[in-house]
């Protein structure tokens, strides 16, 4: 039975999973899964060799491999920004490890492929719109940065396309947002402010600092000190949810509003009537805030004459913890199908359309 190796490689950790698939392509058995500290190794090949030596017998040697990597991918090569590994070359890795295919995809492209394998209980619908057969899909995900991707149907499978929408210019919609943009511009010494400066993990401390200097009487001294020395995003979110800090609540409300507005921008550019997915590490942790008083959806829909169009786009929050790895597995199955080693059929759009539970 064919075997594949899927991986998710960031600047800190490298996660690998070895999977055996029956020839019909219907059943998967995970043979091993491990997470490694990337900085302990000189190259990705060294991580893979250690993993395969321990877990892959000659009969289970993978023929297909895909890594979702934290960096831009061109011609199956990539440089991981936070690692001193030099270029990663999928073709060269395949040759050295005796595999037929090693494919590198950008981590958020991996997320895009992962959307195709999500189950109903791994998403939360934010509206009651119904997905359209074969229509485009899109994904926006705030984490360390702001990732974006979109998918189009080619008649057999969905193709996933990279995008760098998180680096587009932030567009203030109110006088306060204009002041906030100028504050970030000055604090970070920027000539321009990108959207991810307002919608990502880096945004929460800066937004809090802006409100702290604007509303100094609302500072909670205990919370303020914790924000300075602990994980600022977590402290802000916890104290916003508990109601112990009005500045934290202002911060989360601003963040959620900007997130919803950018999701609406992405929807206008791609018209993803097959579904717009809110992924990344932050959304599941702030689900209570995304749903609170419909703030996220209110800002998502605030597009003037186009609001009625966006109301027809199904919107989901992704709860799965590692959609990129899930996407790498989807790519591996496609490689095995292309090689003729599994004989399952491509998943049709109806099977990947998650129906609203509202």
Q: What is the mean pLDDT of residues 39-61?
A: 95
Write out the two tokens for 30: 């995970």
Measured in whole angstroms, the distance separating CA 240 from the mean position of its chain's CA atoms is 24
pLDDT tens, 300-337? 999 999 999 999 999 999 999 899 999 999 999 999 99
CB count in 10 Å sphere of residue 168: 17
- Quick one: pLDDT at residue 338? 87
For tokens 């396309």, name the residue: 161
Q: Give the chain's domains with CATH numbers.
A: 3-114+321-352 (3.30.420.40), 120-319 (3.40.367.20)
- Quick one: pLDDT at residue 349? 56
| pLDDT score of 298 more than 50 | yes
Torsion sign, CA atoms 274, 276, 278, 284: negative
* C-alpha neighbours within 13 Å on the C-beta side of residue 71: 23
| pLDDT score of 134 more than 50 | yes
Q: How far apart are CA 127 and CA 237, in angstroms?
A: 24
- Quick one: pLDDT at residue 346? 64
Query: Quick check: helix, strand or coil at residue 157?
Result: coil
- Quick one: pLDDT at residue 342? 82
For tokens 């485009």, name the residue: 136
Q: What is the mean pLDDT of residues 157-178?
A: 95
- Quick one: pLDDT at residue 81? 76
Write out the two tokens for 187: 């604090």
15: phi then psi, degrees, rounded to nearest 5? -110, 130
Write out the two tokens for 218: 């609302």
Is residue 136 a contact partner of residue 270, using CB atoms and an 8 Å limit? Answer: yes
Least confident of 48-52, 155-159, 354-358: 354-358
Least confident of 22-31, 65-74, 176-185, 342-351: 342-351
Write out the two tokens for 166: 């998180």
Q: How far apart are CA 108 and CA 281, in angstroms?
A: 12
Write out the two tokens for 132: 């359209």
Query: Quick check: helix, strand or coil at residue 138?
Result: strand
pLDDT tens, 195-226? 999 999 999 999 999 999 999 999 999 999 99
Torsion sign, CA atoms 102, 99, 79, 44: positive
209: phi then psi, degrees, rounded to nearest 5? -60, -40
Q: How far apart are CA 358 and CA 342, in angstroms?
A: 37
Is residue 284 a contact partner of residue 322, using CB atoms and an 8 Å limit? Answer: no
What is the separation, in whole angstroms, between the first and last Cα of the chain?
41
Q: How far apart are CA 55 and CA 60, in angstroms?
A: 9
Q: How sure is the predictor about 292, in pLDDT bands with cuts at 50, 70 and 90?
A: confident
Radius of gyration of the chain from Cα atoms?
Answer: 22
* C-alpha neighbours within 13 Å on the C-beta side of residue 11: 7
> Model pTM?
0.92
Q: At what angle do helices 203-214 and 232-242 cross, to 10 degrees?
A: 60
Q: How far apart are CA 207 and CA 247, in angstroms?
A: 9
Q: How sure is the predictor about 357, in pLDDT bands with cuts at 50, 70 and 90?
A: very low
| pLDDT score of 345 more than 80 | no
- Quick one: pLDDT at residue 351? 46
Q: How far apart are CA 87 and CA 149, in angstroms?
A: 23
Q: How sure is the predictor about 352, in pLDDT bands with cuts at 50, 70 and 90?
A: very low
pLDDT tens, 70-126? 888 999 999 987 788 989 999 999 999 999 999 999 999 999 999 999 999 999 999
- Per-chain mean pLDDT for the chain: 93
| Beta strands 123-125 and 101-106, pairing class | unpaired
| pLDDT score of 358 more than 80 | no
User: How are strands ordered across the β-sheet holding 73-74?
Assistant: 73-74, 77-78, 88-89
């Amino acid at each position: 039975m064919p075997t594949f190796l899927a991986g998710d490689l960031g600047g800190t950790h490298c996660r690998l999973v070895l999977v055996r698939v029956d020839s019909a392509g219907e059943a998967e058995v995970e043979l091993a899964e491990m997470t490694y500290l990337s900085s302990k190794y000189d190259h990705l090949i060294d991580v893979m060799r250690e993993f395969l030596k321990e877990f892959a017998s000659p009969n289970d040697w993978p023929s297909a491999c895909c890594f979702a990597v934290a960096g831009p991918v061109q011609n199956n090569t990539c440089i991981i920004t936070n690692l001193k590994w030099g270029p990663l070359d999928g073709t060269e890795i395949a040759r050295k490890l005796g595999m037929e295919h090693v494919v590198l995809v950008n981590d958020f492209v991996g997320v895009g492929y992962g959307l195709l394998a999500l189950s109903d209980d791994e998403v939360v619908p934010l509206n009651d719109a119904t997905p359209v057969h074969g229509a485009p899909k899109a994904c926006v995900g705030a984490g360390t940065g702001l990732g974006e991707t979109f998918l189009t149907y080619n008649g057999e499978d969905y193709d996933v396309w990279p995008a760098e929408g998180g680096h587009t210019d932030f567009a203030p919609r109110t006088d306060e947002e204009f002041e906030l943009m100028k504050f970030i511009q000055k604090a970070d010494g920027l000539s321009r402010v990108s959207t991810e400066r307002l919608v990502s993990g880096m945004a929460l401390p800066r937004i809090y600092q802006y409100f702290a200097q604007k509303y100094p009487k609302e500072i909670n001294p205990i919370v303020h000190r914790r924000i300075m020395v602990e994980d600022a995003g977590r402290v802000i979110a916890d104290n916003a949810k508990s109601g112990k800090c009005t500045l934290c609540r202002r911060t989360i409300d601003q963040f959620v509003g900007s997130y919803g507005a950018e999701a609406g921008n992405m929807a206008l550019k791609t018209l993803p009537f097959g579904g717009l997915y809110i992924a990344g590490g932050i959304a599941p942790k702030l689900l209570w805030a995304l749903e609170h008083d419909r703030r996220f959806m209110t800002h998502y829909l605030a597009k003037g004459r186009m609001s009625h169009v966006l109301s027809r786009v199904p919107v989901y929050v992704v709860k799965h913890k590692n959609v990129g790895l899930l996407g790498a597995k989807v790519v591996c199955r496609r490689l095995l199908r292309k090689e003729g080693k599994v004989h399952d059929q491509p998943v049709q759009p109806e099977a990947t359309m998650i129906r609203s539970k509202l």
